[in-house]
C-alpha cells in the first residue's frame, strides 16, 4: 500500500471518526496535523521499536527462546503492577525513599508496558500507560521543584534532574508505543502539560545540569532528544544534539561532586560523544560510569538511527559508540565485574540491564560479533526490540562463541593522547593499570595505580567509591563524605604518595589539566606482558615511571607480577607506597611490632583514616609478606633497605559512621630520598582446602629479587627462583622504541636485545 493511499484512508477515518483499521501497518500509522497546518505522515512506533520490527518480532514469537523468556518475565512483572494499581505519589524522598523508588519503578513499568502493547497487541497495556501518564500530567504543571535540597540541579519528580531525565528517557519510549492508541486531544494534553514542560525544565531551566559534558547531561540530552523525536519537535531534537542555543554558564561553577559545570562551553549529545570517549572507546570517567552513561548513549543513538538515519550516528567519530562497548566489556574481571576505577561501586557487572542494551545493540548494529552472543546468553535476557530479536536468533542458531578477554591498552582523552588504561591478562591473573587523565569529577587522585585480580577475585584491591548506592541509611544512598576524605585520596590507592600529600594536592582544577603518558605497552609475548607509563605532574619536580609486568615462568606455579616504580625528584621527599592486600597475614621474613593502641597514621589527605597495626624496619635485601585470602596464598617480595619503614595499616580511623571497610594494607615508607626505585613482586601460589585441610604450595617460589642496575636509561631487576634460576628483567627507561637494539653490560656480562624491554636468563 502506497503512502498516498494510506493517507487517504486515514484522513477518511479521521473525518468519519470511524477509526477501523485493516492491518497492523495501518494501525501504526497516524496523521499528525501540525500547528502550522502542514499534514505529515509519522509512523509509530519508530523510536526503539519500529513498525517493521514489531511485525518481524510478532512473526517469530514462540520460536525464539531467550526473547520469549524475557517477554514472559516482563509480562508477568507488568501484569503484577497493573493488578497492584497505579501510584503517582507527590515527590518527597531521596534515593532509596518511598517516592523515589515508586517513580523509578513507574518509569520502568511504563516503558515495559508500552513494549507489551506493541508486541502482544493487547490494549490493557496501552490503557495502563495512558492512565498513568494522565496522572503525571495532572500533577506535573503545578509541581514545585523537589523539596530535598542537596542537588545542584533539583528535579521535580526526583531530588535531582538526573533522575527526572532517566524518567523521560524511558517514558518517551512508552509514549511512542501508545502514540497511535491515544487521540490527538490526549496527545496534545500530554505534550502540552507534561512532556514539553518536562523537557524544558531539565534543559532550559537547568542549564547547569543540561548544558555540559558529563554523564548527567547525556541523560538530559537523550531525554530531551527522545521525547523530541516522538513528538517530532525539531527544536527539542536540535537542543538535544547541540545544547541550549546561546546558553551562557558561569565557567567556574562546580557541581555536587566538585567537577566543573562547563569550563569549555561545550554541550549537547554530540559533544558528549566527542569529549569523554577516546578513539579506542574508553570513557573518561571509567567503566562504572560508562555503564551508567551507556544506556542513554545507545538508546538515543538507536532512536536517532531509526528516525534520523542521515545523521549516521553509529559512525560518528569513527564509530566510537560501538567501540566503547567493546572497551567496556574488556574493562571487567573474569566474573564480568567492572574494575572499580575512580568512583566505581564494586559488584557492578556486565549483567546489569544497561549492558543488555549495549551488548544487543553492539551485536545488531556492530557487525554481529558472535562472541557477544555468549555474554547475551549469560545475561539471559534481551532487549525487546529489533536488536534483541537479532541476538535471540543468533543464539537460537547456535552462532555464539566464547567471549575471550585479552590484554588490552585503551587510550584516554578525546584524541587518545591523554594517557590511558591497560589490562594485562595471563591465565587467571588480571592486572588493571591506570595512567589516565583525571576522569572528570568522578576521578580519583591515583596516577599510575593498579589493582590485581585472580579468577575475578581481588588480590590487591582498589578501594572504589565510598558510597552505598541507593541504600538510604547511608547518607541517602549518595556519596559519603569519606569519598572525598578517603576514597579519592592518593594514599587510598596502590601508588606513591609523596610527603603525605595527594597527587595535584588533591585539587580537581590542577588534576584535570594533566594526565600520565604511556611509555610502552606490550602483550604480544604472552609470557612477558609489560606496561610502562610516566607521570610528571602529580608532584611538580618529581617524575614517576612505573613499569609493571606479568611474567609466566616455568619455575613458578602461576604467573607473577613485577612492579618497578622509579622516582626521580629535584629534592628529597618521603615516599609511601601501599599495597592493599586482602586477607590474613600468614608470615613475614621481617620482625614487626604491633602497638597496644591503634592510632591514625596522619591527620589529612586520607592518612587520618588509616590505623597503624604494625611497624617494622625493612630487611636489607628483601622483605617478604605472605597472606591467605579466599583459600589461596599470596606473597609480596620487595627490595628494601634497613631504613625503610614497613607499616601494616587498616582502614577505619576517623570514621564516625562506620562508612569504611576495615581492610588492611602494607605500606612501604622511604624517607628523605631524591631518587629511588621501589621494586616488588607479587606471586599467587597454591591453595588451601578447609574440607581436606591440606595446604598446597603455600610458600613463595622467589629466593631473591635484586636491583642490579638502575640508571636514567635502564633498570635491571634480577629475579632468582627457589630453584636457583635467575632471570633478568631489563626495561629501557628512555627509549621505548620497539626497533631499537640495546646493548648493556651488567655484572661484566653483555646483554643485547631489541625493543623496550627484555626478560633474559642470567647464566
Query: Please, what is the minimum distance in Å from the beta carbon of residue 702 to its own copies?
Result: 16
For residue 36 the three cell numbers come to: 502550522
Q: Does 652 bind its own copies (CB under 8 A)?
A: yes
Query: Measured from the CB atom, is 3 or 723 closer to its own copies?
Result: 723
Residue from the set 399, 614, 615, 704 that interacts with its own copies by CB under 8 A? 614
Which secondary-structure segment (H or E) carries 52? helix 51-60
Query: Measured from the CB atom, is 471 or 572 closer to its own copies?
Result: 471
Complete DSSP assignment for 425-466: EETTEEEEEEE-B--GGG--S-TTEEEEEETTEEEE-----S
Question: In 3-state terms, what secondary structure has residue 535?
Answer: strand
Q: Does 657 bind its own copies (CB under 8 A)?
A: yes
Residue from the set 655, 733, 742, 758 that interacts with its own copies by CB under 8 A? 655
Q: Does 81 bind its own copies (CB under 8 A)?
A: no
Judged by CB under 8 A, the stretch of 163-171, 229-237, 464-472, 507-515 that binds its own copies is 464-472
Judged by CB under 8 A, the stretch of 10-18, 364-372, 421-429, 647-655 that binds its own copies is 647-655
Q: Which one of 216, 442, 444, 503 is the catalytic residue?
A: 442
Query: Measured from the CB atom, is 245 or 347 closer to its own copies?
Result: 347
Mask: binding to its own copies, 266-305, rule CB under 8 A, as x and -?
A: ----------------------------------------
State the Cα–Cα distance between residues 450 and 434, nearest whole angstrom.
Answer: 6
Query: Please, what is the minimum distance in Å from the beta carbon of residue 70 to its own copies?
Result: 15
Query: Please, what is the minimum distance in Å from the beta carbon of residue 580 to its own copies?
Result: 14
Closest CA to 166 of 227, 82, 247, 233: 227
Interacting residues with its own copies between 678 and 737 (CB under 8 A): 688, 690-695, 698
Angle between helices 51-60 and 386-396 (to 10 degrees): 30
Closest CA to 503 of 455, 552, 544, 458: 544
Instruction: Identify the sign of the CA torsion 388, 394, 397, 398.
Output: negative
Query: Please, what is the minimum distance in Å from the beta carbon of residue 315 to its own copies?
Result: 31
Angle between helices 98-120 and 65-84 (to 10 degrees): 130
Closest CA to 443 of 222, 613, 257: 257
Q: Does 615 bind its own copies (CB under 8 A)?
A: no
Closest CA to 342 of 447, 212, 481, 430: 447
Which secondary-structure segment (H or E) carries 356? helix 353-365
Mask: binding to its own copies, 322-361, rule CB under 8 A, as x and -?
A: -----------------------xxxxx-xxx--------
- Contact assessment for residue 125 and residue 78, using Cβ atoms and an 8 Å cutoff: yes
Query: Measured from the CB atom, is 420 or 464 closer to its own copies?
Result: 464
For residue 748 the three cell numbers come to: 661484566
Query: Please, what is the minimum distance in Å from the beta carbon of residue 624 to its own copies?
Result: 11
Query: Please, what is the minimum distance in Å from the beta carbon of residue 115 to its own copies?
Result: 19
Residue from the set 417, 470, 537, 617 that interacts with its own copies by CB under 8 A? 470
Q: Which one of 170, 289, 363, 575 is the catalytic residue?
A: 289
**Catalytic status, residue 306:** no
Query: Please, what is the minimum distance in Å from the beta carbon of residue 474 to its own copies?
Result: 6
Interacting residues with its own copies between 584 and 613 (CB under 8 A): 584-587, 593-594, 596-600, 611, 613
Query: Measured from the CB atom, is 24 or 688 closer to its own copies?
Result: 688
Query: Please, what is the minimum distance in Å from the beta carbon of residue 57 to its own copies?
Result: 25
Name residue 517's beta-bridge partners.
534
**Catalytic status, residue 289:** yes
Closest CA to 115 of 433, 381, 486, 490: 381
Residue from the set 45, 91, 96, 243 that interacts with its own copies by CB under 8 A? 96
Closest CA to 441 of 216, 646, 624, 194: 216
Query: Measured from the CB atom, is 368 or 587 closer to its own copies?
Result: 587
- Contact assessment for residue 726 and residue 762, using Cβ atoms and an 8 Å cutoff: yes
Q: Does 150 bind its own copies (CB under 8 A)?
A: no
Which secondary-structure segment (H or E) carries 109? helix 98-120
Using CA atoms of 188, 190, 191, 197 in order, give the dihedral in degrees to the nearest 10: 140
Query: Measured from the CB atom, is 89 or 97 closer to its own copies?
Result: 97
Query: Please, what is the minimum distance in Å from the beta carbon of residue 162 to its own copies?
Result: 14
Query: Measured from the CB atom, is 374 or 687 closer to its own copies?
Result: 687
Long-range contacts of 204-207 (CB under 8 A, 24+ apart): 204/244, 206/153, 206/161, 207/244, 207/247, 207/249
Query: Please, what is the minimum distance in Å from the beta carbon of residue 698 to its own copies?
Result: 6
Q: Is residue 720 exposed (0-12), middle (13-18) or buried (19+ Cβ within 10 Å)?
A: middle
State the Cα–Cα distance between residues 254 and 279, nearest whole angstrom.
Answer: 27
Query: Please, what is the minimum distance in Å from the beta carbon of residue 142 to its own copies?
Result: 30
Interacting residues with its own copies between 367 and 406 (CB under 8 A): none
Query: Measured from the CB atom, is 268 or 583 closer to its own copies?
Result: 583
State the Cα–Cα distance between residues 33 and 372, nearest whole angstrom.
Answer: 43
Q: Does 653 bind its own copies (CB under 8 A)?
A: yes
Query: Measured from the CB atom, is 144 or 656 closer to its own copies?
Result: 656
Q: Does 629 bind its own copies (CB under 8 A)?
A: no
Q: Does 648 bind its own copies (CB under 8 A)?
A: yes
Query: Please, what is the minimum distance in Å from the beta carbon of residue 487 to its own copies?
Result: 15
Name residue 372's beta-bridge partners.
none
Closest CA to 272 of 314, 225, 221: 221
Q: Is residue 415 exposed (0-12), middle (13-18) or buried (19+ Cβ within 10 Å)?
A: exposed
State the Cα–Cα distance between residues 519 and 534, nearest whole angstrom.
Answer: 6
Q: Does 656 bind its own copies (CB under 8 A)?
A: yes
Segments in 213-339 forming alpha helices (H): 215-231, 234-242, 269-274, 287-307, 316-330
Mask: binding to its own copies, 538-577, rule CB under 8 A, as x and -?
A: ----------------------------------------
Q: Does 259 bind its own copies (CB under 8 A)?
A: no
Which secondary-structure segment (H or E) carries 498? strand 497-498
Residue from the set 468, 560, 580, 581 that interacts with its own copies by CB under 8 A? 468
Q: Does 102 bind its own copies (CB under 8 A)?
A: no
Q: Does 617 bind its own copies (CB under 8 A)?
A: no
Query: Please, what is the minimum distance in Å from the beta carbon of residue 368 to its own copies?
Result: 26
Count residues binding its own copies (CB under 8 A).
55
Query: Measured from the CB atom, is 340 or 413 closer to its own copies?
Result: 340
Bridge pairing between strands 664-685 and 645-651: antiparallel
For residue 720 the three cell numbers come to: 632468582
Residue from the set 8, 92, 481, 662 that interacts with its own copies by CB under 8 A? 662
Name residue 547's beta-bridge partners.
532, 564
Closest CA to 636 of 625, 648, 622, 644: 625
CB contact set of 542 (below 8 Å; sequence gap of 6+): 498, 536, 567, 568, 569, 570, 573
- Contact assessment for residue 186 and residue 169, using Cβ atoms and an 8 Å cutoff: no
Query: Measured from the CB atom, is 337 or 412 closer to its own copies?
Result: 337
Q: Does 472 bind its own copies (CB under 8 A)?
A: yes
Query: Measured from the CB atom, is 515 or 650 closer to its own copies?
Result: 650
- Contact assessment for residue 97 and residue 473, using Cβ atoms and an 8 Å cutoff: no
Give contact residues for its own copies (rule: CB under 8 A).
96, 101, 345-349, 351-353, 468-474, 477, 584-587, 593-594, 596-600, 611, 613-614, 626, 628, 631, 648, 650, 652-658, 661-662, 664, 688, 690-695, 698
Residues annotated as part of the active site:
289, 442
Amino acid at each position: 500500500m502506497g503512502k498516498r493511499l494510506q493517507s487517504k484512508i486515514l484522513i477518511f477515518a479521521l473525518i468519519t471518526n470511524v477509526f477501523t483499521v485493516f492491518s497492523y501497518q495501518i494501525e501504526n500509522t497516524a496523521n499528525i496535523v501540525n500547528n502550522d497546518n502542514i499534514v505529515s505522515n509519522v509512523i509509530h512506533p519508530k523510536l526503539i521499536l519500529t513498525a517493521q520490527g514489531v511485525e518481524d518480532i510478532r512473526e517469530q514469537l514462540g520460536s525464539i527462546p531467550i526473547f520469549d523468556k524475557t517477554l514472559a518475565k516482563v509480562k508477568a512483572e507488568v501484569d503484577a503492577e497493573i493488578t497492584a494499581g497505579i501510584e503517582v505519589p507527590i515527590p518527597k524522598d531521596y534515593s532509596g525513599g518511598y517516592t523515589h523508588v515508586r517513580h523509578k519503578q513507574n518509569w520502568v513499568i511504563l516503558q515495559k508496558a508500552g513494549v507489551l502493547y506493541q508486541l502482544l497487541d493487547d490494549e490493557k497495556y496501552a490503557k495502563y500507560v495512558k492512565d498513568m501518564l494522565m496522572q503525571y500530567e495532572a500533577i506535573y504543571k503545578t509541581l514545585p521543584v523537589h523539596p530535598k535540597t542537596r542537588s545542584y540541579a533539583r528535579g521535580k519528580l526526583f531530588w535531582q534532574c538526573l533522575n527526572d531525565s532517566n524518567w523521560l528517557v524511558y517514558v518517551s519510549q512508552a509514549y511512542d508505543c501508545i502514540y497511535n492508541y491515544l487521540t490527538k486531544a490526549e496527545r496534545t494534553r500530554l505534550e502540552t502539560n507534561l512532556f514539553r514542560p518536562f523537557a524544558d525544565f531539565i534543559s532550559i531551566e537547568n542549564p547547569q545540569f543540561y548544558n555540559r559534558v558529563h554523564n548527567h547531561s547525556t541523560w538530559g540530552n537523550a531525554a530531551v532528544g527522545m521525547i523530541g523525536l516522538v513528538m517530532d519537535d525539531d527544536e527539542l531534537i536540535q537542543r538535544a544534539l547541540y545544547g541550549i542555543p546561546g546558553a551562557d554558564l558561569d565557567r567556574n561553577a562546580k557541581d555536587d561532586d566538585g567537577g566543573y559545570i562547563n569550563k569549555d562551553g561545550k554541550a549537547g549529545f554530540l559533544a558528549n560523544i566527542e569529549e569523554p570517549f577516546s578513539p579506542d572507546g574508553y570513557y573518561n570517567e571509567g567503566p562504572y560510569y560508562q555503564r551508567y552513561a551507556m544506556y542513554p548513549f545507545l538508546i538515543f543513538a538507536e532512536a536517532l538511527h531509526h528516525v534520523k538515519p542521515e545523521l549516521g550516528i553509529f559512525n560518528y567519530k569513527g564509530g566510537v559508540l560501538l567501540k566503547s562497548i567493546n572497551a567496556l566489556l574488556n574493562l571487567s574481571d573474569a566474573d564480568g565485574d567492572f574494575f572499580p576505577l575512580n568512583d566505581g561501586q564494586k559488584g557492578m557487572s556486565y549483567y546489569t540491564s544497561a549492558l543488555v542494551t549495549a551488548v544487543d545493540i553492539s551485536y545488531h548494529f556492530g557487525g554481529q560479533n558472535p562472541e557477544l552472543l555468549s555474554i547475551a546468553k549469560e545475561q539471559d535476557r534481551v532487549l525487546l526490540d529489533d536488536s534483541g530479536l537479532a541476538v535471540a536468533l543468533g543464539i537460537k542458531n547456535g552462532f555464539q562463541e566464547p567471549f575471550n578477554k585479552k590484554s588490552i591498552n585503551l587510550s584516554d582523552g578525546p584524541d587518545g593522547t591523554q594517557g590511558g588504561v591497560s589490562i594485562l591478562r595471563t591465565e587467571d591473573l588480571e592486572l588493571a593499570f591506570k595512567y589516565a587523565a583525571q576522569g572528570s569529577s568522578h576521578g580519583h587522585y591515583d596516577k599510575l595505580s593498579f589493582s590485581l585480580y585472580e579468577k575475578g577475585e581481588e588480590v590487591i584491591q582498589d578501594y572504589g567509591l565510598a558510597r552505598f548506592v541507593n541504600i538510604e541509611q547511608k547518607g541517602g544512598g549518595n556519596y559519603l563524605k569519606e569519598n572525598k576524605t578517603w576514597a579519592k585520596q592518593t594514599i587510598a590507592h596502590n601508588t606513591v604518595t609523596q610527603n603525605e600529600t595527594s597527587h595535584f594536592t588533591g585539587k580537581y582544577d590542577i588534576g584535570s589539566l594533566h594526565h600520565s603518558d604511556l611509555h610502552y605497552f606490550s602483550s604480544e609475548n604472552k609470557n612477558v606482558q609489560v606496561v610502562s607509563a610516566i607521570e610528571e605532574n602529580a608532584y611538580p619536580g618529581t617524575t614517576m615511571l612505573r613499569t609493571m609486568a606479568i611474567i609466566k615462568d616455568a619455575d613458578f606455579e602461576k604467573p607473577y607480577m613485577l612492579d618497578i616504580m622509579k622516582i626521580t625528584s629535584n629534592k628529597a621527599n618521603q615516599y609511601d607506597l601501599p599495597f592493599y592486600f586482602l586477607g590474613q597475614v600468614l608470615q613475614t621474613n621481617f620482625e614487626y611490632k604491633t602497638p597496644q593502641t591503634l592510632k591514625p597514621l596522619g591527620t589529612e589527605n586520607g592518612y587520618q583514616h588509616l590505623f597503624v597495626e604494625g611497624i617494622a624496619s625493612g630487611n636489607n635485601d628483601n622483605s617478604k609478606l605472605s597472606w591467605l585470602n579466599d583459600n589461596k596464598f599470596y606473597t609480596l617480595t620487595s627490595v628494601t633497605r634497613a631504613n625503610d619503614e614497613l607499616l601494616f595499616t587498616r582502614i577505619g580511623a576517623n570514621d564516625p559512621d562506620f562508612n569504611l571497610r576495615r581492610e588492611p594494607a602494607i605500606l612501604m615508607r622511604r624517607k628523605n630520598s631524591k631518587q629511588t626505585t621501589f621494586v616488588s613482586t607479587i606471586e599467587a601460589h597454591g591453595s588451601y582446602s578447609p574440607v581436606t585441610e591440606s595446604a598446597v604450595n603455600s610458600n613463595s617460589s622467589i629466593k631473591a629479587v635484586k636491583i642490579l642496575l638502575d640508571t636514567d636509561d635502564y633498570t635491571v631487576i634480577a629475579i632468582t627462583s627457589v630453584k636457583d634460576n635467575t632471570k633478568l628483567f631489563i626495561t629501557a627507561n628512555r627509549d621505548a622504541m620497539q626497533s631499537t637494539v640495546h646493548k648493556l653490560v651488567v655484572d661484566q656480562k653483555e646483554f643485547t636485545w631489541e625493543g623496550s624491554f627484555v626478560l633474559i636468563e642470567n647464566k
